[in-house]
Amino acid sequence: MWQKFLCRQKPNKGELVSESTPSLRRRFIIGGISIISVIAALAINFVFEYSQRLADISYDRLLRSALLQMDENIGLVHNKVTIDIPWSAFATLAQANDDRVFYKVVSSSQGFITGYRDLNITPPKPPQLDKIQFFDREYSGEMVRFAWLERHLTESESTGTVRIIIGQTRLSREELSSSVTERAVEVVLMIALVAVALIVIGSQLVLRPLHRISRVLEERQPGDLTPINIKTPKETHHLKMVINHFMARLQTNLEQLENYTADAAHQLRTPLASLRALAENARDKTSPERQQEALENIVTQCDSLSQTVTLLLNQAVVSHRMQTNPKEPVDLLIPVTASCREQAITALHKGVSLSLEANVKRAMVFGDAFALQQMMQNLIENAVRYSSLGADQATEVVVRVEEFSNYYRINVIDYGAGIPKEEKKRVFERFYRGRYDTAGSGVGLAMVKDIIDHHTANIIILDTQPNGTTFQIDIAKYQTAHGAEDFML
């Protein structure tokens, strides 16, 4: 586990496939720029059309004004229709500085009256009397905007209609519209540029807290798993929490590992020392019988050591399982029965009879079968071991499983020496060595406590009457939707 942990502290660049996945920032910028470009293009297109219309509206007013001034000055002289074009009419048109002017006045009875003879055009829509029409036509090599009006002669002596056509080249209109467009395009482009700049800067700003967090993590000492406490915006709070949480779990793992290592070393040192002492003893013995006896002791000690190693391994497996394996519905009786069966022979060797009393056929709980079995094994082992410690040799250890309304109760009862009151609270502490714990497991009850905590169960130590100890465990029933009872039946 240490090896793995160290590996994570020095991330191998090759493992992170950052090159192949697109950058969030680049995607953000490219997306933003393309949207802004589309909007800018639409805006420019709109402005272009709008400015053309605007220019036509403005300059059509001049044209209409000139036309009306001319119209006003149509009259009869010696019974002939004629027109006296006022200077002001063309002064109006001269406001379009450089635009050429073409016009023609005709009457239905006399034909051509004045203007340009070859200006023979018809409006695009069917002509309507008294209605001014505006339209573009090419004349004299240039595009010309024309106003066209035909009306009845109102003088009493005259009949028929008179038609006025007046046109103006489009130079000023194009100038106006392009100046409007130019300005608008400038503004649109400026806004677009500002928006792009904001996106670029904004993306930098938005991602900066992430960079800060990663930098802080990178700069840490390999073993530093304390929470990150740099100030970052609210939006990254969750990320920080998750990282901190993850690190806390790592920390727990690491601590457990450290504990386990310490446990193991601790557990192995004493038997090794005693082995060494026994071996020295055997070496120094002169008589073969004594030597034989000493060797016998060594073998016993080896057995005990092997047992301890097994226990440690089991504990490692249990703690690993509790970290990694999800809990599942388990029939409590299975691990209880299995551990009883496993310990029965060992107990008999020590002159203790082990019995299991259960008033249920199934006892479903939510947990880990292996861990529960380890827990039971430890408790039974302890009970068997200490049965022989009392004043008289106790001959019985009882494991009892009872059902209550929403929990199961397991009692492991022995009739040994019992635990003094002041020690009861401390036996679950790691490496606590009371008298009760002479064989040197020292870790067994601590592991029991871990497993109990893992299952959110409860354990208390009671005195057995007349003497001895009872470990009483309450563990919640597994609740299905229909209730545990239904499941059982």
Partner 1 sequence: MKWFIILLSVFFMGGSQFVLADPEQRSVEFGQKDAPRVLRIHSSIDLASFGPLIEGFVQRYPNIRVSYKDINTLEMYNQTIHDSRSPQASLVISSAMDLQIKLVNDGYAQTYHSFLTDQLPNYAQWRHQVFAFSLEPVVMLVNKDRYPGPLPKDRQDILQTIRQYSNFMKGRIGTYDIRKSGVGYLLASQDARQADTTWGRLLEAFGSHQVKTYCCTHEIIDKVASGKLVLGYNLLGSYVAQRVKEDTHLKMILPKDYSLMVMRVGLIPKKAPNAHDAGLFLDYLLTNSVQKRMQVETLMFPIKPDVMTKNTLNILGKSGPQRVVELDQQLLVGRDFAKQYRFIKSWEEALEITH
Measured CA to CA, the distance from residue 14 to residue 16 in angstroms comes to 6
User: At closest approach, how far in Å is the CB of 133 from partner 1?
Assistant: 22
User: At closest approach, how far in Å is the CB of 114 from partner 1?
Assistant: 4
Measured CA to CA, the distance from residue 163 to residue 283 in angstroms comes to 143
| 30 C-beta neighbours (distance < 10 Å), count | 13
- By beta-carbon proximity to partner 1, the closer residue of 102 and 370 is 102
User: At closest approach, how far in Å is the CB of 89 from partner 1?
Assistant: 7
Phi, psi of 94 (to 5 degrees): -70, -10
- By beta-carbon proximity to partner 1, the closer residue of 147 and 448 is 147
| Sign of the Cα pseudo-torsion (457, 458, 459, 463, in order) | negative
User: At closest approach, how far in Å is the CB of 96 from partner 1?
Assistant: 8
- By beta-carbon proximity to partner 1, the closer residue of 172 and 343 is 172
- By beta-carbon proximity to partner 1, the closer residue of 171 and 257 is 171
Judged by the rule CB under 8 A, the positions of this chain that interact with partner 1 are 77, 82-87, 89-91, 93-94, 97-102, 105, 113-115, 117, 140-142
- By beta-carbon proximity to partner 1, the closer residue of 85 and 200 is 85
The upper half-sphere exposure of residue 99, i.e. CA atoms within 13 Å in the direction of its Cβ, equals 28
DSSP annotation of 429 reads S
User: At closest approach, how far in Å is the CB of 85 from partner 1?
Assistant: 5
Measured CA to CA, the distance from residue 224 to residue 481 in angstroms comes to 45
User: At closest approach, how far in Å is the CB of 102 from partner 1?
Assistant: 8
Instruction: Please answer whether residues 401 and 360 qualify as being in contact, where contact means their C-beta atoms are separated by less than 8 angstroms.
Output: yes
- By beta-carbon proximity to partner 1, the closer residue of 48 and 90 is 90
Instruction: Please answer whether residues 430 and 312 qualify as being in contact, where contact means their C-beta atoms are separated by less than 8 angstroms.
Output: no
- By beta-carbon proximity to partner 1, the closer residue of 104 and 454 is 104
The tokens for 423 are 């020690």
User: At closest approach, how far in Å is the CB of 115 from partner 1?
Assistant: 7
User: At closest approach, how far in Å is the CB of 117 from partner 1?
Assistant: 6
User: At closest approach, how far in Å is the CB of 101 from partner 1?
Assistant: 5
The upper half-sphere exposure of residue 108, i.e. CA atoms within 13 Å in the direction of its Cβ, equals 10
- By beta-carbon proximity to partner 1, the closer residue of 108 and 304 is 108
Instruction: Please answer whether residues 138 and 176 qualify as being in contact, where contact means their C-beta atoms are separated by less than 8 angstroms.
Output: no
- By beta-carbon proximity to partner 1, the closer residue of 76 and 348 is 76
- By beta-carbon proximity to partner 1, the closer residue of 93 and 448 is 93
Q: Render the burial of 322-358: b for 16+ CB within 10 Å, e for the rest.
A: beeeebeebbbbebbbbbbeebbeebeeeebebebeb
Phi, psi of 98 (to 5 degrees): -110, 20
Instruction: Please answer whether residues 395 and 352 qualify as being in contact, where contact means their C-beta atoms are separated by less than 8 angstroms.
Output: yes
The tokens for 50 are 């709008």
Measured CA to CA, the distance from residue 398 to residue 354 in angstroms comes to 6
Comparing C-alpha atoms, which of 376, 275, 393 is closest to residue 330?
376
Angle at 257 between CA 252 and CA 259, to 5 degrees: 95
User: At closest approach, how far in Å is the CB of 122 from partner 1?
Assistant: 21
Terminal Cα distance for the chain, rounded: 44
